[in-house]
Structure 1
Amino acid sequence: MTEDSYEQTEPDQEVLIVTGMSGAGRSTVGNALEDLGWYVVDNLPPQMLRPLMELAGRAGTNLPKIAAIVDVRGGSLFSDLQETIDSLRVGIPVRILFLEATDAALVRRFEQVRRPHPLQGDGTLLDGITAERQRMLPMRESSDIIIDTSDFNIHQLATAISETFASAGAPGVQVTVLSFGFKYGLPADADLVADMRFLPNPFWVPELRPLSGLDPVVSEYVFAQEGAEEFLRGYALALAPVLAGYQRENKRHATIAIGCTGGKHRSVAVAERLARILRDQPGVAVRVKHRDLGRE
């Protein structure tokens, strides 16, 4: 692969190398980046960075954000990492994220999971950490971003990654408002469930029975019932701090289920109206799904 072929990488593509100390949170960072829309490759041997960049150049905007997690598990291959990155940087804008932590924090984490350090060998846990820290020193010195995770739990680290790498205007939480019918069972992935069976059922109105909550006449009927508008306003108001809290805790996906008997009239109408209200909340992206609409 020639140097010119690297230049085929799209100028707005982002390439990130994630490395650092074992136990400092690489897996958590990888998961957080995936939630932000990055294409993440874990435990990649340094020699595979070149083919990965070639793939990125061919994919263009289909792979706008690529993150490769590289660490000492690559064994002797790791010694080529710095040289490989230096050669890639000739034609590609590559950033390096280095995850750091104190010896005490790393020892505590390894003891919690009861696993040996990858460089420990016949020595102690601290022997492995010391050997890795020495081996990682050149990479740390050439890193663009260094994050000390010593005092972070996994949620705090994920939040830090989100704040560092989230695109401007990217939603903090993706909400799915899901209508469903109780007679077909509760949605297994629902985070919150609301029951619309306290409202009169349009099914028993002959002219409304063949229609659905997507039809204006059905929606008007549902929200003309006592308590319907009050519920919608109150529920949307109650969801505001919940969704704000989801964003603070880095919960990036949430499903709000709205149910009625068959999932055709009341739940559909309420789900549509609720979604319109939630779209006005900052940091929230909303989609609507009607699970049981169309079922007999």
Structure 2
Amino acid sequence: MTVEERADGEPAAPGDLPAAEAHGTDPAPLDVVVVTGLSGAGKNTAGRVLEDLGFFVVDNLPPALLQPMVELGARGDVHRFAAVVDVRSRAFSSDLQESIRLLAEAGHRPRVVYVHARNEVLIRRYESNRREHPLQGSGRLADGIEAERELLTGIAGEADLWVDTSDLNVHQLRATLESAFVDHDAPPQVVATVLSFGFKYGLPLDADLVVDARFLPNPHWVPELRPMTGRDAEVRDYVLGQDHAGEFLDEYMKVLGLLLPGYRREGKRYLTLAVGCTGGKHRSVAIAEEFARRLTAEGVAANARHRDLGRE
């Protein structure tokens, strides 16, 4: 093994080397998506869609920082990186094209999404938000749009995917990007949070579905179970062993089996299933844990959280 030298001629210590070199491995290449295009055309919305698809997304990243950010991500646990790049200077186009070229030479897989829309649509969007175009200056809104189109001519011509959002709603934009960046053998999944709560503390504001577990006998009235929670095996077995508990779980899983494909189709990526009992300590906790377990067994990314556990 050879010993690296620093610029001052001294042997380099392991801490002087980048993390990947210190371990003797090269950083893995990343899938990189650069979202750019006309201001007001929906670049930030496209970035949020990519984030839902599992990309690590950075908004408004200057072109000069694109390569350092990708290299940093490659040395960590980032596998898919996306950057929304906006107009910031007249050197924008050439800087971005150079950064993309360097990424490709480094072994990464950069792709460019160019988001645009018709002039009248962009003008209407800007006027509805009462915003000025970043390149408008002292001129008209239409002048700023035309200046931006001219500025982006180079990168637009090299884009891998053009997306015209003039006549697209959010769901259609999502479907367009999913068709380009989702492995069709593994469609994007809904991420489910099963949240237990106590009705006496109020309904969770972010709940999509609410389940009432108060039809089951309350372990609170069993002296030996009262100090325990739904996470304890004794309470879990007591709750799940009640008449109709298993049947209820089976039937509601069938309901979720009908809902989840529809949520995927409509572009909904996050689901909060709230399970309530009186205090959020026993029944709702046990049922929420069981829902999360069953959803996970069905291939759904699910986790259980307990809003009011320990509140009493």
Could you say whether these structures have the same fold, taking a TM-score greater than 0.5 normalized by the shorter chain as the test? yes
Smaller-chain TM-score bracket: 0.7 to 0.9
Q: Secondary structure at the match of 1:120?
A: coil
- Residues 101-180 of structure 1 correspond to what in structure 2 (within 5 A)? 101-166=117-182, 169=186, 171-180=188-197
Aligned-partner SS, 2:285: helix
Please tell me the residue identity of whatever aligns with 2:156.
R
Query: Are positions 1:231 and 2:248 aligned together?
Result: yes
Pick one of 250, 253, 265 that aligns with 2:270.
Answer: 253
2:167 counterpart SS class: coil
Q: Does 1:202 align with 2:219?
A: yes
Instruction: Tell me if the contact between 1:45 and 1:77 (Cα under 8 Å) persists in the aligned partners.
Output: no
Would you say the 8 A contact 1:18–1:70 is kept in 2? yes
Relative distance call for 1:11 and 1:224 in structure 2 (3 A) is closer
> Percent of aligned pairs with the same residue?
52
1:20 aligns with 2:37: yes
One-letter amino acid of the structure 1 residue matched with residue 121 of structure 2: A
Query: Does 1:287 pair with 2:303?
Result: yes
Structure 1 residue 118: Cα displacement: 2.3
Deviation at 1:216, TM superposition (A): 4.7
**Residue 91 (structure 2) aligned to one of 63, 74, 77:** 77
| Alignment RMSD | 2.9
Question: Does the aligned pair in 2 maintain the 1:20–1:136 contact within 8 Å?
Answer: yes
Q: CA deviation at 1:201?
A: 1.0
Determine the C-alpha separation between the residues in 2 that align with 1:272 and 1:84. Answer: 47
Distance 1:208 1:47 in 2: 61
What are the Cα deviations for residues 77-110 of structure 1, in whole angstroms up to 9, with x where unaligned?
3143223433443224322111122223323322
TM-score by length of 2: 0.79
Name the structure 1 match of 2:295: 278
The residue that corresponds to 2:210 in the other structure is 193
- Shift of residue 111, structure 1, vs aligned partner: 2.6
Q: 1:87 to 1:233 in 2, by over 3 A?
A: closer
Assess, with a 3 A threshold, how the Cα gap between structure 1 residues 226 and 16 changes in structure 2: closer, same or farther. Answer: same
**Unpaired segments ≥5 residues, structure 2:** 1-17
Change (3 A) 1:273 1:51: closer
AA matched with 1:86: R
Alignment partner, residue 4 of structure 2: none
Number of equivalenced pairs: 287
Instruction: Confirm or deny that 1:30 pairs with 2:44.
Output: no
Q: 1:83 to 1:291 in 2, by over 3 A?
A: closer
With CA pairs under 8 Å and 6+ residues apart, which has the higher RCO, 1 or 2? 1
Task: Give the aligned residue type for 1:98.
Answer: Y
Shift of 1:27: 0.6
Distance verdict in 2 for CA 1:261–1:154, change over 3 Å: same
Residue-by-residue CA offset, 1:123-150 (whole Å, 9 max, x unaligned): 3333322222222222111112222222
Could you tell me whether the CA contact under 8 Å between 1:174 and 1:253 is conserved in 2? yes
Counterpart check, 1:62 vs 2:74: no
Measure, in 2, the Cα distance between the counterparts of 1:254 and 1:27: 22
Match of 2:66 in 1: 49
Instruction: Give the TM-score normalised by the residue count of structure 1.
Output: 0.83
How far is the alpha carbon of 1:19 from its aligned partner? 0.8
Change in CA separation of 1:83 and 1:222 when aligned onto 2, cut-off 3 Å: closer
1:17-70: per-residue Cα shift (whole Å, max 9, x none)? Answer: 21111222101011122223322222222222343344345xx24222222222
Cα 1:274–1:86 change in 2 (3 A) is: closer
Cα distance between partner residues in 2 of 1:278 and 1:55: 35
Distance 2:91 2:154 in 1: 15
Partners of 1:9 and 1:92 within 8 A in 2: no
Whole-angstrom distance in 2 between the partners of 1:238 and 1:50: 46
Structure 1 residues without counterparts, runs of 5 or longer: none
